Amino acid sequence: MPRPIRVLIAKPGLDGHDRGAKVVAASLRDAGMEVIYTGLHQTPEMIASAAIQEDVDVVGLSILSGAHMTLFPRVRELLNQAGREDMLITGGGIIPREDVEELKRQGIGELFGPGTPTTDLIEYIKTWFAERQQQEA
């Protein structure tokens, strides 16, 4: 039996709205993934540290504060500095399309907006993980 996908869900910055992050965490858990939810008001340093300590495959950031162009790249930078370029960073929130494209150029995975079915995120993570497992084999 293959090992479960490990996902860290985090709410960086000052945004205090975490209902969406909790729904996503529960949906990923229901899909058979191991999920760690770090809670509100996490710094990029706290998120990267937790991701490394928990040895996750995926970091999911929920950002509604408008600080996505700072927070996503900072988490990616910290993970890269720690030699963990292999971790997928994905997430969602209120993110303009042009910013999504720029974040992808900076090494961030797919980003999901409000109202996206959680099945889309689940399928994306499972597909990414399967492709990574094949590359490592």
**Band (17; pLDDT cuts 50, 70, 90):** confident
pLDDT at 103: 98
**Band (25; pLDDT cuts 50, 70, 90):** very high
**Band (14; pLDDT cuts 50, 70, 90):** confident
pTM of the model: 0.96
pLDDT at 34: 98
**pLDDT above 90 covers what percent of the chain?**
85
* 3-class state of residue 40 by DSSP: coil
**Residue ranges of domains in the chain, CATH in brackets:** 6-136 (3.40.50.280)
C-beta separation of 10 from 74 below 8 A: no
pLDDT at residue 94 is higher than 80: yes
Q: What angle do CA 62, 68, 74 make, to 5 degrees?
A: 100
Which tokens belong to 98? 């042009």
Name the CA radius of gyration of the chain, rounded.
Answer: 14
* 3-class state of residue 57 by DSSP: coil
